[in-house]
Amino acid sequence: MAYVLKQKLCPFGLSNNPNGYMDTISYITIHNTGNYASYANAANHADYLYRGSDGQATSWHYTVDASEVWQSFEDSRMCWHTANTTGNRNSIGVEICTNDRINFPKACDNAARLTADLLKRHGLSLNAVVQHNVWSGKDCPYEIRAGEWGVNWARFLNLTGMYYSGAASPGQNYPSYPGYLIGLGSAGDYVLSLQNYLNDIAGYYPSIPALTADGEFGPATQRAVIEFQRLFELTTDGIVGRSTWEKIVSVHSSLNSGGAGETPGADYPPYPGYPLNVGSSGEYVLIMQNYLNAIAREHPSIPILTADGKFGQATRQAVIEFQRLFGLTADGVIGRNTWDKIISVYSMLNSGNENKPPEMNYPAYPGYLIRVGASGEYVEIIQSYLNAISRYYPSIPGLTADGQFGPATQRAVMEFQRLFGLTADGIIGQNTWDTIVSAYSGFQGYAGTAAYTGRASAAYAPVNQIADPAAGTGYSQDTLWLLLLLLIC
């Protein structure tokens, strides 16, 4: 195993677990912690569990981040992590930390290695790896289910399968170029290895489409190879010869060893010379859809797109929201200015440069009350912001951002007001407007804003109550956030 395994095993007698043993070990259940605080790493989660989860009835076996794995309970101990009796009594719980967006793929890589080791240790097949969702219906592991930050469920299972089968065993040499061209119609182990490698690389370069790793070189694999070749300045013929094979192996090896990977010289394509709008299609549209999806993970008011290379109304709405957020003319057309801004924002996120955030433009209060019957751009803005905030406060109902202030919007506003200590009248005045904008901007994580970073844990634990070792406080993030908002207001 290439990950670092540490233990802080919890004794019997704590209130956060049943203090017994499982009936069988039949499944490995995967969770995401849902905690974005910078200090919410595996070690601090292990401390949280060792403290008895601060009185909460929640526990799991392993916590994984980009650097290490912490084991809190022996594999045979029963834990409360699925909200389901069968799940708790028959599955090992693995929580993947979400505190480090840039290194989340590495955390998933460590989790895949751990999961493969657990499967081998307990004589299980890959079919034993399940999401928390199957036990309780909870949207967990959220980031993986949503394809957050370049890792989706298919990719996680493919990676686990590679480590389980030994195709990507740590320390094992990569296979040499087979000595013949691999292209459409090829099949077998070499194709399977390429597909797995490309899926891993796509976690860092999301314009490479995800593949079904089946060992069959079809049109989807050809498109992935072409995109890889384009990114790394190779001949874009969709054929894997010696040069492409060795470049794929080189990039995968760099990423798999924890490095930042190679920076492709043609990573960010130049403006094509003509605007993209409704009805456009092709490679440039596909690139923009992939980049917008990546940006949407940091700016959730941008809707997630199906990256199909077709510029329809959904893509137009995503472009309009991007343009509105970044102070461009919100016409839904990707001209040179919008193209360059999308590239700039995506490049900044992809490089992990969080100290120089792009310029954000949050609209000022319009100067009049917004209530039932109102309509227009300001209503649509508030609806979009409330939808983004509701990801962290699920009691706020989701809205259709149509610019019409009806009863549903009124209910969402009232719930926001109740949560944030405002008069719950369903009317947006200066205080409510400023608080919504402040909360939304905080979720974007930009300097100078008070960013709330906690969300209820995938295992039903308020893990945002982990103490910040630097601050020396045990106050919950919810409490600190509310206090800060009271000061602002």
| Residue where the block lists tokens 């909360």 | 439
Query: What Å distances lie between residue 420 and 72, 289, 396, 407, 451, CA to CA?
Result: 35, 35, 12, 20, 15
Q: How far apart are CA 52 and CA 73, in angstroms?
A: 12
Q: How far apart are CA 249 and CA 255, in angstroms?
A: 10
Q: What is the pTM of this model?
A: 0.41
pLDDT, residue 259, reads 40
Candidates 250, 251, 252, 226; CA nearest to 239 is 226
Residue ranges of domains in the chain: 4-165, 189-256, 283-351, 377-488
Q: 33-37, 115-119, 265-269: lowest mean pLDDT where?
A: 265-269
10 Å CB burial of residue 127 (0-12, 13-18, 19+) is exposed
The string of DSSP letters for 377-398 reads HHHHHHHHHHHHHHTTSTTSPP
User: How confident is the model over 108-130, as a mean pLDDT?
Assistant: 90
Q: In what order do the strands lie in the sheet with 27-32?
A: 4-7, 68-71, 62-64, 91-96, 27-32, 129-131
Confidence of residue 365 (pLDDT cuts 50, 70, 90): confident
Fold assignment, 189-256: Muramoyl-pentapeptide Carboxypeptidase; domain 1 (1.10.101)
| Cα angle for residues 334, 339, 345 (degrees, 5° grid) | 130
Highest mean pLDDT among 250-259, 264-273, 381-390: 381-390
Q: Tell me the CATH architecture of domain 283-351.
A: Orthogonal Bundle (1.10)
CB distance 431 to 422 below 8 Å: yes
| Cα angle for residues 83, 477, 61 (degrees, 5° grid) | 35
End-to-end CA distance of the chain: 51
Q: 189-256 with 283-351: one CATH topology? A: yes
The distance between the two most distant Cα atoms of the chain, rounded to a whole number of Å, is: 72
- What are the beta bridge partners of residue 240? 182
Candidates 252, 273, 266, 326; CA nearest to 295 is 326
Query: What Å distances lie between residue 338 and 217, 285, 290, 296, 302, CA to CA?
Result: 36, 13, 15, 15, 15
Cα 37 from chain centroid?
14
pLDDT, one tens digit per residue, over 269-296 is 777 777 888 988 877 888 888 889 888 8
pLDDT, residue 131, reads 93
Q: How many residues does the chain have?
A: 489
Candidates 15, 157, 28; CA nearest to 82 is 28
In 88-167 the beta strands, taken as DSSP E runs, fall at 91-96, 129-131
- What are the beta bridge partners of residue 63? 70, 95
Q: Residue 335 pLDDT > 70, yes or no?
A: yes
| Cα angle for residues 57, 60, 64 (degrees, 5° grid) | 135
pLDDT, one tens digit per residue, over 429-468 is 988 998 888 777 665 543 222 222 233 223 323 333 333 3
In the chain, pLDDT over 70 holds for what percent of residues? 80
pLDDT, one tens digit per residue, over 285-329 is 888 888 898 888 778 888 888 878 889 999 999 999 998 888 888
CB distance 264 to 231 below 8 Å: yes
Fold assignment, 4-165: Lysozyme-like (3.40.80)
Residue 372 φ/ψ region, left for φ over 0, alpha for ψ in the -120 to 50 degree band, beta for the rest: beta
pLDDT, residue 44, reads 92
User: How confident is the model over 41-49, as a mean pLDDT?
Assistant: 92
CB distance 286 to 340 below 8 Å: no
